[in-house]
Structure 1
Amino acid sequence: MPEPTTERVPRRRAETRRRLLDAALPVFAEEGFGRSTVEQICERAGYTRGAFYSNFASLDELFLAMWERRSATMTEAARTAVDQLGNTEPADVRAIVQHLLPAIPVDDAWFRVSAEFTAHALRNPSLLRVLTAREDAIVGALLPLLVDLLARTGRSIPDPAALGQALVALHDGTSAQCLIDPANPLVRQRREDLFVQVITAYTQEN
């Protein structure tokens, strides 16, 4: 028996949206966010402009949907990493960093696109507010996981918001360093060391 039309349409729409999102990142990374067009993304995805505009009002909205999807993927990876520990108590802050850091990858294409979009948002106050809210949301989703792991080592966070801002700045800055000098293992090691130092500085023993 054929699927009811009401079920086929949402499924088809979700597939169209997924393919457009998949196509957008390489286009943005290759062309630059400011130079990319709806037509380029549609061509990469195999759709028409009509398919694009039935899912997204603009390239800005498409990017924010990409951000949302990437944030969800990263949060899920971090949760999985925490779940894998079970009831194990990490030895110290470094053990926590080593366990969680792979869930927050350094990605060349994403870094280029997100850096360009951030610069674009800085020229648009309303868009910047949306971007800031999205960043706050992912920090808010990840911090409880870190709080839980730190509690297992006997540490707490007096000011979670300050630590969240520090970790975002640290991730962005060290990501740039890793991408500029990818063959240097010391850069990755210093990234880990800095995460350990910052988390230690913003937490305290109970």
Structure 2
Amino acid sequence: MPDAKRVTKRRGETRQRLLDAALEVFAEQGFGASTVEQVCDRAGYTRGAFYSNFVSLDELFLAMWEQRSERMLADLRDELTDAPESSSLDAAIERVLAVIPVDDTWFRVTAEFTAHALRNPALRRVVAAREEAIMATIMPILESALSAAGLRITDRRALGMALVAVHDGTTVQCLMEPDDKAVWAARQQLFINVVRAYSEGST
């Protein structure tokens, strides 16, 4: 009889290889042009291995997204946990942005998947719910960091929406001009301005 721990470990490794392969395929081919066969070929598995882990490419992408979100949230907690008990708003935002990736590969994949989700009402609702859940997790972490900077958020929902908009917009700018320090500095300043607009206190 197979050892349960070994089976579980092997299954986890198979799943991770499929996730890693899919990211490469999606980035190269585009999400809409990618197939299960391409992902399996890149990972070195059969279709059976894929369907024993995922129902569809949509489900695989959502699993990939969840994994990356969990990693980002863990990094954010670690970064802010180690922050000084009191710091300026500029310092707090700098620490936050340090662990929020601006990744060309991931941006291309997510932009294409978002377009795909907009064409599918059921999937669009799933994506919207997951984005809400991520923001609900981020906001208490951010509130704690802002409290150390002497600030209190006045409208949590509005701030969350504004931060997502700033992140998405400035990510495009930074990816288009990755070597322009002024673009990165403007990104940080925009985050600072938005936080100030939806908070009160002294910095």
Q: TM-score by structure 1 length?
A: 0.94
Query: Is residue 38 of structure 2 the alignment partner of residue 40 of structure 1?
Result: yes
- Amino acid of the structure 2 residue aligned with 1:171: H
- Amino acid of the structure 1 residue aligned with 2:166: L
> Is the 2:92–2:149 contact (alpha carbons within 8 Å) kept by the matching residues of 1?
no
In structure 2, the partner of 1:61 is 59
Distance 2:157 2:54 in 1: 32
In structure 2, the partner of 1:203 is 199
Distance 1:149 1:25 in 2: 32
In structure 2, the partner of 1:158 is 154
What percent of counterpart residues are identical?
Answer: 56
Question: Which of 127, 130, 134 is equivalent to 2:126?
Answer: 130
Aligned pair in 2 of structure 1 residues 50, 4: CA closer, same or farther (>3 Å)? closer
In structure 2, the partner of 1:103 is 99
In structure 1, the partner of 2:85 is 88
Distance 2:85 2:151 in 1: 15
Question: Which of 138, 144, 162 is equivalent to 1:142?
Answer: 138
- Amino acid of the structure 1 residue aligned with 2:42: R
Distance 1:82 1:183 in 2: 27
* Structure 1: runs of 5 or more not aligned: none
Measured after TM superposition, the shift of residue 66 of structure 1 is 0.5
In structure 1, the partner of 2:111 is 115
Distance 1:10 1:172 in 2: 37
In structure 1, the partner of 2:28 is 30
* Structure 2: runs of 5 or more not aligned: none
- Amino acid of the structure 2 residue aligned with 1:184: D
Measured after TM superposition, the shift of residue 4 of structure 1 is 5.4
Q: More displaced, 29-38 or 7-16?
A: 7-16
- Amino acid of the structure 2 residue aligned with 1:116: E
Distance 1:154 1:182 in 2: 32
Give RMSD over aligned pairs: 1.3
Distance 1:45 1:135 in 2: 28
**Cα deviation digits, residues 165-198 of structure 1 (max 9, x gap):** 1111110110001111112111101000100000
Distance 1:78 1:13 in 2: 29
SS class of match (1:156): strand
Distance 1:163 1:59 in 2: 32
In structure 2, the partner of 1:170 is 166
Distance 1:68 1:115 in 2: 16
- Amino acid of the structure 1 residue aligned with 2:147: A
Give every structure 1 segment of 4 or more consecutive aligned residues whose post-TM-superposition deviation is greater than 4 Å. Answer: none
Distance 1:24 1:159 in 2: 38
SS class of match (1:133): helix
Distance 1:182 1:125 in 2: 35
Alignment length (residue pairs): 202
Measured after TM superposition, the shift of residue 154 of structure 1 is 1.9
Distance 2:181 2:14 in 1: 40
**Cα deviation digits, residues 75-111 of structure 1 (max 9, x gap):** 01101101211x5311x21111111101101000000
- Amino acid of the structure 1 residue aligned with 2:16: R
In structure 2, the partner of 1:192 is 188
Distance 2:2 2:112 in 1: 43
